[in-house]
A and B are shown apart, each in its own frame.
Chain A
Amino acid sequence: MRKVAIIGVGQSAFVRGYPGSIRELAFEGFREAMQDAKIATTDIDASVVCSSPEYDKQRSPAGVLAEYLGLTPQPTFYVETLCSSSSTGLKLAYSLVASGLHDVVAVVGFQKMSEITSAESQERMGRGADIQWESPFGTMMPAYYATYARGHFLKYGTTPDDLALIRVKAATYGQINEKAVYRKPVTFDMFSDPDNTMSGPVASPLRVGDCCANADGSSCLIVACEEKAKIFSKKPVWIKGIGAASTAVNLSGRDLFSGLSVGIEAGKQAYKMAGITPKHINVAEVHDCFTIAELMAYENLGFAKPGEGKELIRSKETYREGSIPVNVDGGLLSKGHPIGATGGSQVRTIVLQLRGEAGAMQVKEPVFGLVHNIGGVGLYGNVTILGRE
């Protein structure tokens, strides 16, 4: 198979209530990636469009976006794995390029969530789980992840305070990320203040501060074969390992309630393909749709042993100066989570880190970076390892 690089990255600002249509929203991330790659639309051989359906009225958005982005008559198609759609799109782009079928592929992720209310969006998100056997009980994403938080608390003695520390870290970096939707500071004391929004109950043991916000946004990754990458890019970032997994949709079909099996499995695949171990990772973006999701990712990716993820955040090892910086762009908790755009945004952060272009969020000379992107309640998991060489 051919080597594959990422030669351009872009994302829109993640916002509440984007004042435009989905094609205009997608254009923002695409334009930034194209200007970053310094290539023309005629250099792109195919596009992969990624989002989660039902948040807007457009059916089959790939054709509509390809036309607006100037990517016709090249082939385009749509891919969906809920919140991990655009990292799945990256895996498909990798396959298309590695196989030799195409040389340059654009992965366009987008989501405009603001056309429906928060409660409507919770109902749609809940239907990303088992609609036949679970949704009739009134399920929603925070409650599903809350069952994992409770599972982790029961097994390992993790506490709500540990989760609050993760939100405080996210806000530390969200404040300096101009693309983030939530840029206000968050302090630990807010979680013990009954009058503060952060402490408000959602689904026990998760509180408002444990949950990321919906947002509108887009992202774009330009993926190229080695030959084209060396022509177009001074600093190509290479895809070293790419893993993916799925599991039972209904919680009753699962065995683990203190971690996500798809994260463990996808991580194993990615490390094996890259030929490295967790200790080689210098910077990571993990899927923190909820604080507990980040804590479980520490353990599922091997940054900490099972049950010891809390020690990493208590000792601030996942801060920018720590031994394994995680989500130092604010994560989903601060950036917001426009479902189909999220994975591409995570990859963008790691690409900028590996190029040394992450500004105030830059970690010291990273060689390997990791992206962990989860779809649904651990239904789909993608882990991608990127490297400078």
Chain B
Amino acid sequence: MAKKDIDIRFSKFGTISFTSTTKVNDFIDKLEAGKVSGTICKDCGAKYFPPRADCCKCFSSNMEWFDVSGKGKLLTYSKLEYAPIGFENDLPYCIAVVDFGEYKVFGRISGDIADSEITGGMELKAVVNKLPSGQINYVFEKA
């Protein structure tokens, strides 16, 4: 009997992904189509980023995708000069939390933005980013 194929699309997320199988694997397809996406519960309307397969407010698993769009505001950030194993070649890089109103997004600020330009409250947008290794994630760019 042929071995059952396992859907490991999520192993493409980020410099190193620590998760391969998830019910929201379509997140990767969305990224490849140029969209950063969260999920919304079709039963109670709860909105989630990062996306979830299950709603903890009404216990439904009846979810649909929405696109992270528009401008968010930079809440906080940190520039790393030292990295965990496997991320050394990315240094230096800046992690951040951006507030889009109904939800917040954690990620990296694009290396194209100079340190001197990064300020609390600045407007940013989430943009898909393909890595030279073939992996994929998203970064925040100036809105």
Which A residues form the contact surface with B (CB < 8 A)?
A: 119-120, 122-123, 126-127, 130-140, 142-144, 146-151, 154, 201-206, 250-254, 257
Instruction: A127 to B16: give the CA distance in the assembly, Å.
Output: 12
Q: How far is the CB of A155 from chain B (nearest CB, A)?
A: 8
Q: Tell which of B81, B86, B95, B104 touches A202, judged by Cβ atoms closer than 8 Å.
A: B81
Query: 0/1 per residue, B11-39, Cβ < 8 Å to A?
Result: 00111111100100000000000000000
Interchain CB contact under 8 A, A257 and B75: yes
Q: Does B125 contact A (CB under 8 A)?
A: no
Interchain CB contact under 8 A, B17 and A154: no
Q: How far is the CB of A119 from chain B (nearest CB, A)?
A: 5
Interchain CB contact under 8 A, A136 and B18: yes
Interchain CB contact under 8 A, A252 and B50: yes
With A143-B80, A252-B104 known as contacts, the answer to whether A136 contacts B13 (CB < 8 A) is: yes
Instruction: A136 to B87: give the CA distance in the assembly, Å.
Output: 9
Task: Across the interface, name the chain A residue whose C-beta is closest to B87.
Answer: A138
Instruction: A148 to B80: give the CA distance in the assembly, Å.
Output: 14
Interchain CB contact under 8 A, A137 and B84: no
Interchain CB contact under 8 A, B85 and A123: yes
Q: Tell which of B79, B84, B120 touches A119, judged by Cβ atoms closer than 8 Å.
A: B84
Interchain CB contact under 8 A, B81 and A201: yes
Q: Which 9 A-B residue pairs are closest in the complex by CB-CB distance?
A: A136-B14, A138-B87, A146-B78, A123-B84, A154-B120, A201-B81, A151-B76, A131-B18, A252-B104
Interchain CB contact under 8 A, A203 and B78: yes
Q: How far is the CB of B80 from chain A (nearest CB, A)?
A: 5
Query: 0/1 per residue, B94-112, Cβ < 8 Å to A?
Result: 0111000001111110000
Instruction: A64 to B12: give the CA distance in the assembly, Å.
Output: 39
Q: How many A-B residue pairs have CB under 8 A?
A: 115
With A123-B85, A123-B86, A252-B97 known as contacts, the answer to whether A140 contacts B80 (CB < 8 A) is: yes
Q: Tell which of B10, B86, B97 touches A251, judged by Cβ atoms closer than 8 Å.
A: B97
By size class, the interface of chain B is 35 or more
With A143-B95, A147-B97 known as contacts, the answer to whether A203 contacts B81 (CB < 8 A) is: yes
Q: Tell which of B78, B85, B104, B137 touches A143, judged by Cβ atoms closer than 8 Å.
A: B78
Interchain CB contact under 8 A, B106 and A204: no
Q: How far is the CB of A295 from chain B (nearest CB, A)?
A: 15
Instruction: A173 to B134: give the CA distance in the assembly, Å.
Output: 51
Interchain CB contact under 8 A, B82 and A252: no
Q: Does B77 contact A (CB under 8 A)?
A: yes
Q: Does B66 contact A (CB under 8 A)?
A: no
Q: How far is the CB of B129 from chain A (nearest CB, A)?
A: 11
Greatest chain B CB density within 10 A among A137, A251, A253 is at A137
Q: Does B46 contact A (CB under 8 A)?
A: no
Interchain CB contact under 8 A, B120 and A122: no
Please, could you name 25 A-B residue pairs with CB atoms under 8 Å apart, sorted by A? A119-B85, A130-B106, A132-B22, A133-B50, A136-B14, A136-B18, A138-B14, A138-B15, A138-B90, A138-B95, A139-B95, A147-B77, A147-B97, A150-B78, A150-B120, A154-B120, A201-B81, A201-B82, A203-B78, A203-B82, A204-B78, A206-B78, A251-B104, A252-B50, A257-B76
Task: Across the interface, name the chain B residue whose C-beta is closest to A122.
Answer: B84
With A132-B50, A138-B95, A151-B75 known, 11 other A-B pairs at CB within 8 A are A130-B50, A136-B16, A136-B17, A137-B106, A137-B137, A138-B80, A139-B84, A203-B79, A252-B105, A257-B76, A257-B97
Q: How far is the CB of A56 from chain B (nearest CB, A)?
A: 18
With A132-B18, A252-B97 known as contacts, the answer to whether A204 contacts B79 (CB < 8 A) is: yes
